[in-house]
Structure 1
């Protein structure tokens, strides 16, 4: 493993992990919202297909993350994985029509800029 650079396979797996984590969290939120519309009982939550989509993505993403760790240094991979701190709220804003304050948008932008800096250092 090259300790200072990301190989293309690791970069692709990392991109998948960020996307999967983003969709997973949005699925959990949507599934939880749908369950609360019907009383919010834990059994209702467990019956939501979107919750199961999130669980399935979590399993697949966990396997992909282990593969990333086999191919990339943690000092590069983990900071890039934190892009989800920007992509999940952005997905909530766009897909779930949630609101973000200007300060929240600025924070998400700063996180994305930091991830970009770390990611570019590994290319």
Structure 2
């Protein structure tokens, strides 16, 4: 993967992670949705800056991902953006104080190994 392609990948992953963080922070402000408050909660989304920001950041990430797809095979780009799962677990642990069971740690490790195998290219020559 060329440096410019890696930059697009990194942009897509970071936008996904930041978007997820903002959406979680906004969801905590929004409160739990149930049948009685569903419509008001959906309408309230546009009044919570974190939710609006999260959606905007996701859009920027989608643009970065589209640009990446113009240069890299989907069979490489798709699995590589799975790194966002890794960062989401880290953010959940450190910022939202979520517990991370051992099975999830192992799963994250397997994701990292899988991404390395997918994007690794043997040097030409």
Pick closer, same or farther for the CA change 1:88–1:105 going to 2, 3 Å.
Answer: same
Gaps of 5+ in 2: none
Question: Which string of whole-angstrom CA distances, capped at 9 and with x for unpartnered residues, describes residues 32-78 of structure 1?
Answer: 011118x8841333311110111111111111111101111111111
The alpha carbon displacement at 1:7 in A equals: 2.0
Which residue number in structure 2 is paired with residue 45 of structure 1?
A: 45
Asked if 1 retains the 8 angstrom alpha-carbon contact of 2:80 and 2:115, the reply is yes
Rounded to whole Å, the distance in 2 between the matches of 1:106 and 1:91 is 17
- Give the TM-score normalised by the residue count of structure 1: 0.84
SS of equivalent residue, structure 1 residue 71: coil
> Which residue of 22, 31, 40 corresponds with 1:36?
31
Rounded to whole Å, the distance in 2 between the matches of 1:49 and 1:122 is 45
2:4 pairs with 1:9: yes
Gaps of 5+ in 1: 1-5
Question: Which string of whole-angstrom CA distances, capped at 9 and with x for unpartnered residues, describes residues 4-30 of structure 1?
Answer: xx2221111001111110111111111
RMSD (Å) for aligned C-alpha atoms: 2.0
Aligned residues: 117
Q: How does 1:43-82 map to 2 (within 5 A)?
A: 43-82=43-82
Which residue number in structure 2 is paired with residue 22 of structure 1?
A: 17
Which residue number in structure 1 is paired with residue 88 of structure 2?
A: 88
